Amino acid sequence: MGLYKLSFKNLRRRKLRSILTMLGIVIGVTTLVLLVGLGAGMTSSIKEQTESMMGDVIITKSGSGEMAAMGPVGTMQNQMDPDTVSKIKNNSLLFDIKEYVTFIDVVNGMTVVVEGTNDWQQVKMKNGTAGVVIDEEVANQLGLKVGSKFKLKDQEFTVTGIAANTGGMIYIEIDKVRNMTENKISTISARTRGDPKLVSKEIENQISGVDVLTKSDIAEEVDKLTSQMLLFIGGIASIGLIVGVISIVNTMLISVMERTREIGILKAIGFTNREILGSTLMEAGLLGFIGSIVGVIIGAIGIVLLSNTFGIENVSNLLPLWLILGVIGGATFLSILAGLYPAWRASRLNVVEALRNE
């Protein structure tokens, strides 16, 4: 009998025990895939958003912090006055200048982020036209649709379009938003004539009250934040997988104890210690491998359901290939490690003592 057949036979012999052991792996892997997958999707979304709106440099009001340059969220206090904006736009070192106006407000009891824009290609429209666009979250919570009216800062607006869910956003033509913010600007993106690092320092020296970050600065900070986030999420989710792997140690030890006489017979008919060791390790590895595959499938189904529920596009970003291969490979490897002691114990059994065991 080959090692493969022997390993599968041992798993089938105690079906309920094998299923319960794999269940721990399945739960751990499913949790890991869901949490890390959502984290990876969020990371990809943040990077795409910053890349799409980013020139060579991003200019914000001093004290706004690096996060102000990475996303749309801002407050009225973090906006640059018209005089500062005029100096930036007239600076000879900058060209292809884009302005962004954002602020937080409350509409019918819901906190929303209002963004003024003329770059409607960056807004993922679901239906309707540009002008006054609300995302799906705002539409669902406030019961609004194309043609509905709402008030913002004592002004009445008519919804012209619905965008994909972006976390409670309202997009309005930038000129209308500037009127609500006294012509103040939250962020300016621009390309530079010369090295962005040198230009950023020159702008800060020439214009007081602004912070200038280069594209590489933003990319580095985004990578740092998203890496820390994924590491934290992965660490939390891995706890469930580790618990499942520990259960394999217990299962394999019980299996070896129950099969002591059988192992003695196998040794008596010519199986070597190495073959007994390999068979037991393969059995442990199969528990992890099969459990991880089932867990990935369930996790993938969960991600698809969440994507459909919240209107998330690009499901491939939530379920990258590295996550699938990493989880399956990691669970299998950890399961084999968990089976090392039971396998070593099985391989070291004395033939005579094993045959005497009832």
Q: What is the pLDDT of residues 278-305, one digit of tens each?
A: 888 888 899 999 999 999 999 999 988 8
**Over the stretch 337-354, which tens digit does the pLDDT of each residue have?**
999 998 898 888 877 776
Q: Which two tokens stand for residue 284?
A: 């442990």
Per-residue pLDDT, averaged over 66-83, amounts to 62
**Confidence (pTM):** 0.64
Which helix (H) or strand (E) segment is 112 a member of? strand 110-117
At residue 134, φ and ψ (nearest 5 deg) are -110, 150
* Confidence at 78, pLDDT banded by 50, 70, 90: confident
Q: Which two tokens stand for residue 63?
A: 């004290």
- Look up residue 235 and give its amino acid: G
Which helix (H) or strand (E) segment is 128 a member of? strand 125-128
Nearest residue to 241 (alpha-carbon basis) of 319, 337, 307, 315: 337
Does the pLDDT at position 65 exceed 60? no
Nearest residue to 59 (alpha-carbon basis) of 6, 97, 29, 116: 97
Residues of the chain with pLDDT > 90: what percent?
19
At residue 81, φ and ψ (nearest 5 deg) are -75, 165
Mean pLDDT across the chain: 83
Q: Higher model confidence: residue 70 or residue 300?
A: 300
Nearest residue to 59 (alpha-carbon basis) of 202, 181, 189, 216: 189
* Confidence at 72, pLDDT banded by 50, 70, 90: very low
pLDDT computed for residue 236 by the predictor:
84
* Confidence at 150, pLDDT banded by 50, 70, 90: very high
Q: Which two tokens stand for residue 316?
A: 């491939």
Angle at 232 between CA 228 and CA 233, to 5 degrees: 120
Does the pLDDT at position 74 exceed 50? no
Q: Which two tokens stand for residue 187?
A: 């962020």
* Confidence at 159, pLDDT banded by 50, 70, 90: very high
Q: Where are the domains of the chain?
A: 3-48+223-356, 63-208
Least confident of 2-6, 57-61, 149-153: 2-6
Distance CA 294, CA 288 (A): 10
pLDDT computed for residue 73 by the predictor:
43
Per-residue pLDDT, averaged over 172-176, amounts to 88
**Over the stretch 82-122, which tens digit does the pLDDT of each residue have?**
899 899 989 989 988 888 888 888 888 899 999 888 778 77
Distance CA 229, CA 301 (A): 23
Give the largest Cα separation in the chain, rounded. 94
Cα-Cα-Cα-Cα dihedral sign, residues 285, 291, 294, 299: negative
Per-residue pLDDT, averaged over 203-229, amounts to 83
- E-strand ranges in 146-248 read 149-152, 155-158, 161-163, 169-173, 187-192, 210-214
Does the pLDDT at position 69 exceed 80? no
Tell me the three-class secondary structure of 237-280, residue by residue: HHHHHHHHHHHHHHHHHHHHHHCHHHHHHHHHCCCCHHHHHHHH
Instruction: Considering only CA atoms, give the Rg of the chain.
Output: 30
pLDDT computed for residue 49 by the predictor:
66
Distance CA 319, CA 18 (A): 28
